Structures are given as structure tokens and as C-alpha cells.
Chains A and B, each alone.
Chain A
Amino acid sequence: MKSSWWKILTIALLAYTLIAGLLLDVPRLPILNETIRALYFHVTMWFGMIIMLVVAVIYSIKYLKSNDLRHDDVAIEFTNSAILFGVLGIVTGMLWARYTWGDYWSGDPKQNASAIGLLMYFAYLILRNSLTDVHQRARIGAVYNIFAFAAFIPLIFVLPRLTDSLHPGNGGNPGFNAYDLDSNLRKVFYPAIIAWTLLGTWLSVVRVRLKRVERKIEDKLINQVS
């Protein structure tokens, strides 16, 4: 019970995000209208994804330093959750774009960059699966994970800023800061980021534990036979 306080916090914050996010007053803006609520469900996905990717990279570095498979479990499972969040982010973004920009895919630089980012991490999964030896898989996976992250950062943070983007806050479009993000939106936005990130962490932690149990059982079976 002592260590589950953050799970209770997750549920509480998620409930708050859902209820307040859908019911609380939002600023009435032309074109955006009610879709401004995507801030709580779409933008937060990317925050969660980036945070989890950072965690995965840190654990990849830890693995390379220590050769401890436990670190690799954390790295791969956090990447998995980050990919899930990334896919959700793309899908929610496309839905939102359908109603505000008029098309599911408008070739916006950020949209393209996030799609490429996902390709990178899908490739990471395929690379891992193509290796059979556990230690080799962990080591080469970690190397590619760090390498991909180094390319991912300029891709999503630098390149879209160099061109005009349709996204709020880019290319002359006013960002949310220009309106009253401070009064109502912020009250839900920040808790929502924490809530979704915690949910992703929860997912990853459960899977990490599952993986470790599986490995233990496997080891036991192998030792029995020999």
C-alpha cells in the first residue's frame, strides 16, 4: 500500500483530467472552438512520450555501463509505452486536424516529424526482434536507442521551428499562451501531463515486472533440465 500511492494519484488525476477536461469552461475561439480540449488529450501525449523516451535512453546508457539486463527491461518497456503514446498522439492529432485544418494529413512539419520519429522506434523494435541472443539484443538495442534519440531530438525540436507550421505557436499562429492558458486551461493541462505520464509509467512498470518473472521462470526451467 505504501508504494501504491502514486497509482492512486494516477487514477485521481486521470479522473480529474477526464471530468474537468470535458466539462470545464474553455475559451471560445474561432475555428478551434471546443477542439481546444485536444490540449488535454493530444498535446499531453507528446509530453508523456518524450518523458518516457528520456527515461528509456537513461536506462539504455545504464545498461551499456553495467551490462545488467534489468536495466534493459526498463528501457524496452518504456520505449513500448512511448510508442503507444506516440501512436495515440498521431491519431488524436489527425482527428483534431480534420476539424481545424480540414484534412487528416496536411503535411505539417511537426506532423511529418512525429511520423518519422515513430518510424525510428518501430525500426528499433524490428532490430531487437531480429537478434536472438538476449545480451546481444540488449546491447545493440541500447546502442540504436541512444543513436536514434540523438537524431530524434533535432528532428522534433529544431527542424519544425525552421519552417512555418500550422501548429499553434508556430509560423505566426498564436500559441495557447496568447490566450488565457494561465486561467482555465493550465489548471487542467499540467495535471493532465502528470496523469498521462504516470499512466505510461504504470503500464511500463507492470510489463517490466512481467518480463522479469518470465525470465526467472525460464531460467528455472533451463536449470531443471540440465
Chain B
Amino acid sequence: MLRQIRTLMLKEFTLEWRQKYALNGILLYVVSAVFITYLSVGAKQGNIGAPTWNALYWIIILFSAVNAVAKSFVQEHQGRQLYYYMIASPEAIIVSKIIYNSILTLVLALLGYLVFSVILGNPVQDQGLFVLNLVLGALGFSGCLTMVSGIASKASNNATLMAILSFPVIIPILLMAIRVSKNAIDGLDWSVSVDKIITLLAINAIISATAYILFPYLWRS
């Protein structure tokens, strides 16, 4: 099982590295999205309030994550999926995809954070909490989005379906992440955020566990 996961993840990374345009495309997506926001709100450095900064940041991360993860099942041909079906267990596939997508989402989030800080200013006072929250958010996003992209890939109408299926499901994670990140921006004491972080962890665990249990049924069809 562990070996299968490792092999599958290695495969994901190799595949991504070979088709660099997809990775570069999504990275560019983040940068352009940040720039569009920057121009639209017409803000100069430090001109925009912390809550707005926070909300804009998370919305951009959400959309980039949806776009980045959406292709995780679509990019592979029917035939190749059949091949995986024969050689690997569905559990190994979903776990490897979730881990891989978390790393991808985390990279996107960090890149977004960097560009945001450069262009819009960086109001975050508690970097540690902010980054920890990013890691948790990325885990939750990828757990939810990987499963939804698996579902959407079975249906034809992909892009719309991906969005409408994932947004409502992802909202609990998004809300908790936004709250914790607001605390991090304000530099509040960690004790204030502890229960929220635990809730976020719990939601992540529920979503990932459900995905893990349900994926074999989805995969078989």
C-alpha cells in the first residue's frame, strides 16, 4: 500500500514535470489573478484593509486550487485509467492524489502569498500561524477537490460541474481557514485560534475520511 502510494506520487510528479505547461499555466494563473485583483480594487501598498486583503487572498487561492485540481482526473485517458485500475488499489490512488494535490495547492498558496505581499503589502503579523493555516487549508482543499474532481470526471459537463459541486462542500473549510488567517493577520495569541484550528482539522479529517471510503465505489464505475 505504502509502496503503491509512493510509486503513484512519483508518477504524478514525473507527469507534471514532463508537461510543464500545465504547472506553469496554473502558476501564471495565480500571478495574473492577483494582479487583476490589485488593479481592480485600485489599491496601493497598505491601502486596503486587513479583512479585504484576507478575503481576496482566499478567494484567489480557492479559484486557483479548483483550476489546479480539476485536471487531476481529467488529464488522464480512459485507457490509462483502466490500466491504473488493474495495477493499483483505489485507496492508494486517492491517497496519492490527495497528497500530491495538497503539495500543489500549498505551492500555489505560498506563491500567491508571495505575490500578494509584494504587490498589495503584507499585513500578516503572525507568520507561523498563517503558514500553518495555509498547510491545513491546502490539505482540506485538496481532499475535497480531489474527490469532487473524481466525481466530475465521471460526468461530461466538467468545468461547471466541478465548480457547483465543490463550492458548497468547500465552504466550511474556507470559512474556518479565513477566520484563522484573520487571527494570524491581527497577530492574536495562539490560544484564541486553537479551537478553530482543531475544528478545521476535524473537518479536514471528516472530508478526507469520507473521500477515502467512497472513492473505491466511484472508481469501480
Q: Footprint of B on A, CB under 8 Å?
A: 64, 116-117, 119-120, 122-123, 126-127, 130-131, 135-136, 139-140, 142-144, 146-148, 150-151, 153-155, 158-159, 162
State A126–B162 Cα separation when bound (angstroms).
11
Q: Given the complex, which residues of A lie within 8 Å of B206, measured CB to CB?
A: 150-151, 153-154
Contact A123:B157 (CB < 8 A) given known A151-B144, A154-B202, A155-B172: no
Q: Given the complex, which residues of B lie within 8 Å of A120, measured CB to CB?
A: 168-169
Question: Quick one: which of B154, B157, B211 has the most chain A CB within 10 A?
Answer: B154
- Is B165 within 8 A of A150, CB to CB? no
Between A and B, how many residue pairs show CB distances below 8 Å?
86
Q: Given the complex, which residues of B lie within 8 Å of A126, measured CB to CB?
A: 161, 164
- Is B210 within 8 A of A140, CB to CB? no
- Is A131 within 8 A of B172, CB to CB? no
Q: A139's closest neighbor in chain B, by CB? A: B221
- Is A159 within 8 A of B164, CB to CB? no
Q: Given the complex, which residues of B lie within 8 Å of A151, measured CB to CB?
A: 144, 168-170, 172, 203, 206-207
- Is A140 within 8 A of B171, CB to CB? no
Cβ-neighbour of A64 out of B157, B175, B202, B217 (below 8 A): B217
- Is B161 within 8 A of A127, CB to CB? yes
- Is A140 within 8 A of B151, CB to CB? yes
Q: Given the complex, which residues of A lie within 8 Å of B195, measured CB to CB?
A: 162
Q: Given the complex, which residues of B lie within 8 Å of A116, measured CB to CB?
A: 168, 171
- Is A143 within 8 A of B214, CB to CB? yes
| A-contact 0/1 string along B168-210, CB 8 Å cutoff | 1111100110000000000000000001100100110011001
- The secondary structure that dominates the B interface is helix
- Is A136 within 8 A of B217, CB to CB? no
Q: Given the complex, which residues of A lie within 8 Å of B87, measured CB to CB?
A: none
Q: How far is the CB of A20 from chain B (nearest CB, A)?
A: 37
| A-contact 0/1 string along B140-176, CB 8 Å cutoff | 0000100110010011110001001101111110011
State A151–B157 Cα separation when bound (angstroms).
23
Q: Given the complex, which residues of B lie within 8 Å of A147, measured CB to CB?
A: 147-148, 151, 169, 207, 210-211, 214
Q: Which 9 A-B pairs have the closest CB atoms?
A: A120-B168, A150-B210, A119-B168, A151-B169, A123-B164, A130-B155, A155-B172, A139-B221, A143-B214
Q: Given the complex, which residues of A lie within 8 Å of B207, measured CB to CB?
A: 147, 150-151
Q: How far is the CB of B212 from chain A (nearest CB, A)?
A: 11
Q: Given the complex, which residues of A lie within 8 Å of B176, measured CB to CB?
A: 159
Q: B202's closest neighbor in chain A, by CB? A: A154
- Is B161 within 8 A of A130, CB to CB? yes
Determine whether B218 belongs to the interface, using a CB cutoff of 8 Å to chain A.
Answer: yes
Q: Given the complex, which residues of A lie within 8 Å of B199, measured CB to CB?
A: 154, 158-159, 162
Q: A153's closest neighbor in chain B, by CB? A: B206
Q: How far is the CB of A127 from chain B (nearest CB, A)?
A: 6
Cβ-neighbour of A136 out of B164, B196, B221 (below 8 A): B221
Q: Given the complex, which residues of A lie within 8 Å of B157, measured CB to CB?
A: 130
Q: A139-B221, A140-B154, A162-B195 are in contact. List 8 more A-B contacts (CB 8 A).
A: A122-B164, A127-B161, A139-B218, A150-B210, A154-B199, A154-B202, A155-B171, A159-B199
Q: Given the complex, which residues of A lie within 8 Å of B156, measured CB to CB?
A: 130
- Is B202 within 8 A of A144, CB to CB? no
Q: Given the complex, which residues of B lie within 8 Å of A136, measured CB to CB?
A: 154, 221
Q: Given the complex, which residues of A lie within 8 Å of B167, measured CB to CB?
A: 119
